[in-house]
């Protein structure tokens, strides 16, 4: 698979990574451990070198699965994980409280290193901006960890342009991870100009619109109670019905290219900037292979323009997060 470098950092990864969260958390019941390990290793065998996890996925379980799966390939892959949450005793110990205090970060990293079976974390993200901790303190703590050889690169997730600049002034930011797809294009205005100016890579999560752009979800789809999409306004039955028009546009475009809607959605992201590296997730080998096929599709400038004009004409219905999650987004 083609390789890409995240901004000016020199961190080289496969053009498509693998978001591992859904194997353990957030999209229904966890995948059986041996099957999850098998899927991750299948990705390595097909050229994927970039794997994304976090301590809260599970919690802890996903890091353990990723660590076991990648142990035989450790020197050949890039592992990204995240800090920034803490169990909230006033909210049934849910991981809704942010905590990016320096002492907490260093404690979290020790646990992540053990679960990931490694001596160094390639890319360490702040999972969400902590409004109670100056970003300069957070960046300084990661800088210390980099100097100690426990972390190689610093990243942010769902951070706004001002926060990115402040963090970057203390410790260069290698990548921003935020949601971005034909289903959510807001980053084009809010953060991408800043990323380009500073030489920071962009790692879109949910590049397939949390599965919606694959064309396999419609108004009649029923989500498991453990599936995060069950509480997302954009995935209400009414909004799924309204937003189906976007999928139909992508599907028609895919037919012309003899591809699937998912492959076109990923190819569109890759055609945007050379420092964009999407991390689609899946629990199925067939979907993994389909997604990786998106990296082989090269869209022309005219293709991209036509796709963007058609999709921009469709108003997307529903917020992308419920209120409890939306308050954690830094803008």
Q: Would residue 306 count as lying in a domain?
A: no
CA distances from 58 to 52, 66, 143, 174, 283 (A): 14, 12, 27, 26, 15
CATH number at residue 29: 3.20.20.100
Per residue in 101-139, pLDDT (tens digit) is 999 999 999 999 999 999 999 999 999 999 999 999 999
- H-run or E-run covering 153: strand 151-157
Per residue in 166-218, pLDDT (tens digit) is 999 999 999 999 999 999 999 999 999 999 999 999 999 999 999 999 999 99
- How many domains in the chain? 1
Selecting among 57, 73, 180, 321, the annotated active-site residue is 57
What the block records as the tokens of 128 is: 């969400």
Q: Are 179 and 208 in contact (CB under 8 A)?
A: no
Nearest to 216 by CA among 276, 283, 270, 304: 283
57 assigned to active site: yes
From the CA atom positions of the chain, what is the Rg in Å?
19
Judged by phi (left if over 0) then psi (alpha if -120 to 50, else beta), residue 140 lies in alpha
Print pLDDT tens along the chain (331 aa). 999 999 999 999 999 999 999 999 999 999 999 999 999 999 999 999 999 999 999 999 999 999 999 999 999 999 999 999 997 766 665 777 899 999 999 999 999 999 999 999 999 999 999 999 999 999 999 999 999 999 999 999 999 999 999 999 999 999 999 999 999 999 999 999 999 999 999 999 999 999 999 999 999 999 999 999 999 999 999 999 999 999 999 999 999 999 999 999 999 999 999 999 999 999 999 999 999 999 999 999 999 999 999 999 999 999 999 988 888 898 7
Tokens 């610093």 belong to residue: 154
Domain of residue 36: give its range.
3-210+273-297
> From CA 133, how far away is CA 102, in angstroms rounded?
9
pTM, full prediction: 0.97
Nearest to 304 by CA among 269, 262, 255, 259: 269
Q: Which residues contact 173 (CB under 8 A, 6 or more apart)?
A: 154, 155, 156, 164, 167, 198, 200
Q: Would residue 68 count as lying in a domain?
A: yes
> From CA 14, how far away is CA 10, in angstroms rounded?
13
Output the pLDDT for position 92.
62
Q: Would residue 238 count as lying in a domain?
A: no
């Amino acid at each position: 698979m083609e390789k890409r470098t995240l901004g000016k950092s020199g961190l080289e990864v496969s053009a498509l990574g693998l978001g591992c969260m859904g194997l353990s958390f957030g999209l229904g019941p966890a995948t059986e451990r041996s099957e999850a390990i098998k899927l991750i290793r299948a990705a390595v065998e097909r050229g994927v070198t970039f794997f994304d996890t976090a301590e809260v996925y599970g919690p802890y379980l996903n890091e353990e699965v990723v660590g076991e799966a990648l142990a035989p390939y450790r020197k050949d892959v890039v592992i990204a994980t995240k800090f920034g949450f803490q169990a909230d005793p006033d909210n049934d110990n849910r991981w809704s409280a942010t905590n990016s205090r320096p002492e907490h970060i260093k404690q979290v990293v020790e646990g992540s290193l053990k679960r990931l079976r490694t001596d160094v974390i390639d890319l360490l993200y702040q999972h969400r901006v902590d409004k109670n901790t100056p970003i300069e303190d957070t960046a300084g703590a990661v800088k210390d960890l980099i100097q100690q050889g426990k972390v190689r690169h610093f990243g942010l997730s769902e951070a706004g342009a001002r926060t990115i600049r402040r963090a970057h002034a203390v410790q260069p930011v290698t990548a921003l991870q935020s949601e971005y797809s034909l289903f959510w294009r807001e980053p084009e205005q809010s953060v991408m100009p800043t990323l380009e100016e500073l030489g920071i890579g962009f790692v879109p999560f949910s590049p397939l619109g949390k599965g919606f752009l694959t064309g396999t979800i419609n108004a009649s789809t029923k989500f498991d109670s453990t599936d995060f999409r069950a509480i997302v306004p954009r995935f209400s039955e009414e909004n799924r019905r309204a937003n189906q028009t976007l999928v139909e546009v992508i599907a028609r475009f895919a037919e012309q290219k003899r591809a699937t809607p998912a492959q076109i959605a990923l190819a569109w992201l890759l055609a945007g900037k050379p420092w964009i590296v999407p991390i689609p997730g899946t629990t199925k080998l067939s979907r993994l292979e389909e997604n990786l096929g998106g990296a082989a599709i090269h869209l022309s400038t005219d293709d991209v323009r036509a796709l963007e004009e058609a999709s921009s004409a469709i108003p997307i219905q529903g917020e992308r997060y419920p209120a409890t999650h939306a308050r954690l987004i830094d803008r």
